[in-house]
Each structure stands twice: as C-alpha cells, then as structure tokens.
Amino acid sequence: MASLAAAAVCRAASLSRISSPRTPIQAASLIHKRGLAGAADHHGTPKVNCWQDPLNPSKWKEEHFVIVSLSGWGLLFFGGYKFFTGGKGKKEEKLVEATQ
C-alpha cells in the first residue's frame, strides 16, 4: 500500500515538472506573438463582394467564394436527387388518398 502511494507521488511530481516551465524565459517562448501579420498588409488585388463582380470569382472574398461554392454544390446534388427520384413522392400521396 505504501509503495503505491509512493509511486503516485513520484508520478505527480514528474508530471508537474514536465507541464510547468522552470524559468520565465521558457514561459515567454511559449507565448505566440503575431508581430505585423495583421490584416493591414495587403498583397495582390483587393477582394470584393461576390455581388459586386459576379463573373470573376478570383476577385471574390474567400468567405463569399466558400458560401457560393457550397450553395452551388448543394443545389446541384438536390436537383439531381429530385430529378432521379421525382416520381416517388407523388405515388405515396395517391395511395394515401385512395385509402381514405
């Protein structure tokens, strides 16, 4: 029983040594500093909203491109689903009307 308690104390001590840095220099090196990597540094052409230049997706803002692309793919899949399975929903409605 005492050996189990001693082993637990040793594990806890080793974990506390591993998880906490020993010097303030090590603690400072763990903090991420962005420096001048802000949004004010523009490279290339300025990005516009998708409705301002709808025929040139390369100039769209990234989030607008993602929304339009996902919407287009969703409409394509849903349209294909409705095209290939379009008649099934109407048959179920006729069966319900016939039984009443």
Residues 20-70: tens digit of each pLDDT: 555 666 666 677 666 665 555 567 788 999 889 999 999 999 999 999 999
Q: Please, which residues have CB within 8 angstroms of residue 67's CB and are 6 or more apart in sequence?
A: 50
Yes or no: say if 56 and 65 are a contact pair by the CB < 8 Å rule: no
Structural domain boundaries in the chain = 46-92
CB neighbours (10 Å) of residue 79?
Answer: 10
Of 56, 39, 37, 40, which Cα lies nearest the Cα of 48? Answer: 56
- Identify which has the larger pLDDT, 92 or 78: 78
What integer pLDDT is reported at residue 63 of this predicted model? 93
Whole-angstrom distance between the N-terminal and C-terminal Cα of the chain?
Answer: 76
What integer pLDDT is reported at residue 45 of this predicted model? 82
What integer pLDDT is reported at residue 43 of this predicted model? 73
pTM of the entire predicted model:
0.44
Separation CA 86–CA 72 (nearest Å): 20
